[in-house]
Structure 1
Amino acid sequence: MLYIIIPVFNRWRYTRECLESLRQQTSQAFRTVVVDDGSTDETAAALARDYPAVEVVTGDGNLFWTAGVNLGIRRALALGATRVLTLNNDVVAAPDFVAQMLAAAAAHPTAVLGALEFDAATGEAIYGGERLDFRTNTRTDLLQELPTGQRTGLHPVTYLPGRGLLIPQAVIEKIGLFDEKRLPHYLADFDYTSVARRAGFPVYCNYAAQLSTYPEESGQTLTRQHRSVKGYYQHLFGIRGGGNMVNFTHFALKNCPGPYLPYFLLNGYARRIVGYFLH
């Protein structure tokens, strides 16, 4: 049984839109767990009133993404999940999203699967997975490689984001849950899927499974909208900082092959130090 895990903190209008897209799925062979991490808006009341079939797990406001997702996964496994799918609340699933994910999972039962993403405002494809060369710390964007007519099927990638990530139970049994201790927010998803790949599980972006996202709502984008000394510090060291140096170090130590590690670290530090001002 597939369980969809959605961590939320406020922003009910996005959560409602996400849940409505799940209601419209052509396949209803799933259940939904929302991890409400201490929302102070109408989230709790609206979930109870409008979505009684949704399993709600609550936190105290200090879970952040990784611990929130782990809490939801533990609940799903206790309820009998054989697959889990992590989904951000600010995404809208195409009507056949679940059906396409389940079809790919049936054909590749040990694979970790991600989705093709589109900008909800423009309809433009914005994320189709990437491959990372640890030797040079350079990334290949699959969307730039593939002509529009070839954006179909499964494509092997180095890692995947957690915005629409299907994980088989076999992966959890072998490598455990997300690393909430060392990666409480950013990079936990890339780390987890990279670890899964190194443990022998295929990692694919499934171009048949499609999501619409709001890229301007990401924490990294919001942090950079109003640049300041405080924002720069948060970028490099805050839990929600997209350039968090400590998180990057943990990711590198866990995933980069030893011979390439010194350059990968130095290059990554330099990118983060200057990247705040370049985007």
Structure 2
Amino acid sequence: MIYIVIPVHNRKAFTLGCLHCLAQQTVTDRLVIVVDDGSTDGTGEQVRKQFPDVVVLTGNGSLWWAGATNLGVRYVLDTLDPDADDFILTLNDDISINSGYLANLLIASKANQRCLIGSVSVDVKPPHALLYAGTRHNFLVAKIEDQATTRFTNKYASLLQNSSCIGSDSLPGRGMLVPIPVFRAIGVFDDRRFCHHMADLDFSIRARKAGFPLLISSASVVYEYSDATGVDVSKPMSLRLFWQALSAIKSPINYQVRHHFALKHAPFPYLYIGIDMLRIIGGYVIRQIKATLAMDR
């Protein structure tokens, strides 16, 4: 059995689209759990109406990704009492998947037992760039290598020529298949330190340290609406917006979150956070200079 936990908030169209994709899966031994964290757009009502087999849990709007996911995970662990051979799949709603997605995850898991299996991300929009294909972490110099770019030049075809599964040092929660024994061994997501961003990275790194390898299934693809998630810090922005992004909950450069991550996982945490923030600030300055030069041409 695969228990699919999807945290949602005020994105009714995305949520319903994701559930439609899951309804088309060739794997039928599944249960979908939507955690509606205080939506005001009628998401929960529409899910219950259109997908009556889906379990809908409700939050008050303050759970964010990690808290909402934990609510779904605890529902599975405490209420449904899954078997050791079962799985929990964490999934975001801003994606599309083909009908064989769950089957491909199970094939990869069967071939690599005790592993957490992650998904490849491809942009849903043309030219369908490869967005995610695993990471490599260097905790000494605060560097996370994006293998989609460094190994596969953002081309899914290049990834397929490599291997059916590739190793990764961490996994995102956007399509992460977790064997039930992993939760029994390490607990749930750390929603106190990482309420939104980096909760999935922290969880997967903890699992790897506990002896559960991390793999990416080349055949398990989520097509991502890449412009629908959080704060986009890859584009030029005003200094005021950049300063706000350093503390915004939905921002990937939230200083406090990255500080907690360094304290938990880096051998020299203050060196890590210093280099990390210098890289973030330097990247901002370079983007601003490039944008200014482009306007002057």
Common topology (TM > 0.5): yes
The amino acid that maps onto 2:271 is: Y
Q: 2:237: which partner in 1? A: 227
Q: 1:128: which partner in 2? A: 133
1:151 deviates by: 4.2
1:136 deviates by: 2.5
Q: 1:20: which partner in 2? A: 20
Where does the alignment leave 5 or more consecutive residues of structure 2 unmatched?
153-157, 288-297
How many equivalent pairs are there? 276
CA contact (8 A) 1:224 1:231 kept: no
1:90 aligns with 2:94: yes
1:97 deviates by: 0.8
Query: CA offsets per residue over residues 62-107 of structure 1, 9 Å max, x none?
Result: 1111100000111122213331111001011221110011122222
Q: 1:49: which partner in 2? A: 49
- Secondary structure, aligned partner of 1:271: helix
Determine which of 176, 185, 188 is the counterpart of 2:196: 185
Q: Distance in 2 between matches of 1:191 and 1:268?
A: 16
1:272 deviates by: 2.8
Give aligned-pair identity as a percent.
34
Q: Quick one: structure 1 residues 229 and 142, their matched pair in 2 at CA, closer, same or farther if it must change by over 3 Å?
A: closer
Larger radius of gyration: 2
Q: Distance in 2 between matches of 1:236 and 1:268?
A: 12
Q: Distance in 2 between matches of 1:237 and 1:246?
A: 7
Where does the alignment leave 5 or more consecutive residues of structure 1 unmatched?
none
1:261 aligns with 2:269: yes
Q: Distance in 1 between matches of 2:172 and 2:261?
A: 14
Q: Distance in 2 between matches of 1:161 and 1:268?
A: 19
1:224 deviates by: 6.7
- Secondary structure, aligned partner of 1:234: helix
1:235 deviates by: 1.2
Q: 2:161: which partner in 1? A: 150
Determine which of 150, 153, 176 is the counterpart of 1:165: 176
Q: Quick one: structure 1 residues 28 and 152, their matched pair in 2 at CA, closer, same or farther if it must change by over 3 Å?
A: farther
1:38 aligns with 2:24: no
1:178 deviates by: 0.4
1:20 deviates by: 0.8
Q: Distance in 1 between matches of 2:262 and 2:34?
A: 31
Q: Quick one: structure 1 residues 277 and 46, their matched pair in 2 at CA, closer, same or farther if it must change by over 3 Å?
A: farther
The amino acid that maps onto 1:253 is: L
CA contact (8 A) 2:159 2:218 kept: no
CA contact (8 A) 1:236 1:273 kept: no
Q: 1:236: which partner in 2? A: 246
Q: 55-64 vs 224-233, which deviates more? A: 224-233
Q: Quick one: structure 1 residues 98 and 27, their matched pair in 2 at CA, closer, same or farther if it must change by over 3 Å?
A: same
Q: 1:117: which partner in 2? A: 121
CA contact (8 A) 1:234 1:240 kept: no
Quote the RMSD (CA, aligned, Å). 1.9
Q: 1:8: which partner in 2? A: 8
1:148 deviates by: 4.3
1:212 aligns with 2:212: no
CA contact (8 A) 1:236 1:272 kept: no
Query: CA offsets per residue over residues 129-148 of structure 1, 9 Å max, x none?
Result: 11112223333332332434
Q: Quick one: structure 1 residues 22 and 187, their matched pair in 2 at CA, closer, same or farther if it must change by over 3 Å?
A: same
1:181 deviates by: 0.6
